[in-house]
Amino acid sequence: MALLPAATRAAAAGLCRIAASASSSPPSSAPARRERELPLALLAERGKMVVGGHRGMGMNAVGAPPGARVGAARERENTLLSFGRAAAHAAVAFVEFDVQVTKDGCPIIFHDDFILTQGIGAVYERRVTDLLLEEFLSYGPQKESRKVSKPLLRRTGDGRVLNWSTEEDDSLCTLQEVFECVSPHLGFNIELKFDDNVLHHKKDLERALQAILQVVFQNARDRPVFFSSFHPDAAMMTRELQSLYPVLFLTEGGTSKHHDSRRNSLNNAIQVCLEHDLHGIVSDVRGILKNPAAVVRAQESNLALLTYGQLK
């Protein structure tokens, strides 16, 4: 697929470029199709790309040297401000965001497994899913001026804990608020986020997924929606729990290794999709470059193929 035209690339600076690839008509050997295909707005026309906003206008590159990460967002990632800015771009078909569920059962938007703040002489770190909704929303800017906010810190990949500052800030939010406040014409790629270092029992996965699905069913209406997850069991269970919205398996495409072999290659990801009737794959673009033959196999299997990440 061709790159975006130069003018569109400039307008979409800071956004994650995601290309969707799927056969326009399934080959004769393909399995029977699912109840709903990927939303048409998210399928690329010949010679074009579909653009998705990663966490809205892009992720925040906390601690990175200036220019080290292309398109690092000015706005706080995964906020209504960032989603609204992305929706204003004509090139953007959908936004991707990370959903976790609080201890009291509310789906919220946040990427990291842990949330950090500064106390008196110490840094306090909590697992996001151990927080009640009220506790989670107390971090960062507050919607009500009378409330005192907790400063947000972030742990970088090399272990440093830094002030999580952005040029333009906004409050943390819930999945319900995103459906209510973001343009209904903007598609949602809802990433079902689960900590890789925690063993999630089936009942815990189902409880979290049911909470998310309830919000989606009550609020999605005609909005294009699809789910994705790096957690293969979460992706499979989401497919089992509902048949209305497409479910894609997220993979790093073999660029890193995991204890779960299903996550270690594009070929394994394709096999997971075929065995459990998932609609497609979202892969790190570097995995595609390492194994371009997987593109053909995905197309022959009538699977959607989306990519994320940078080429360098």
Residue 197 has pLDDT above 80, yes or no: yes
Kindly list the distances between the CA atom of residue 288 and the CA atoms of 261, 265, 282, 297, 310, in Å, as whole numbers in the listed order: 18, 10, 10, 12, 12
The DSSP element (H or E) to which 82 belongs, if any, is helix 80-87
Q: How does pLDDT run across 80-123, given as a tens digit for each residue?
A: 999 999 999 888 999 999 999 999 999 999 999 999 999 888 99
Who has greater pLDDT, 121 or 30? 121
Q: How does pLDDT run across 227-241, given as a tens digit for each residue?
A: 999 999 999 999 999
The architecture CATH gives domain 6-110+175-308: Alpha-Beta Barrel (3.20)
Residue 14 has pLDDT above 50, yes or no: no
According to the model, what pLDDT value does residue 175 have?
Answer: 98
Kindly list the distances between the CA atom of residue 309 and the CA atoms of 70, 93, 173, in Å, as whole numbers in the listed order: 10, 17, 25
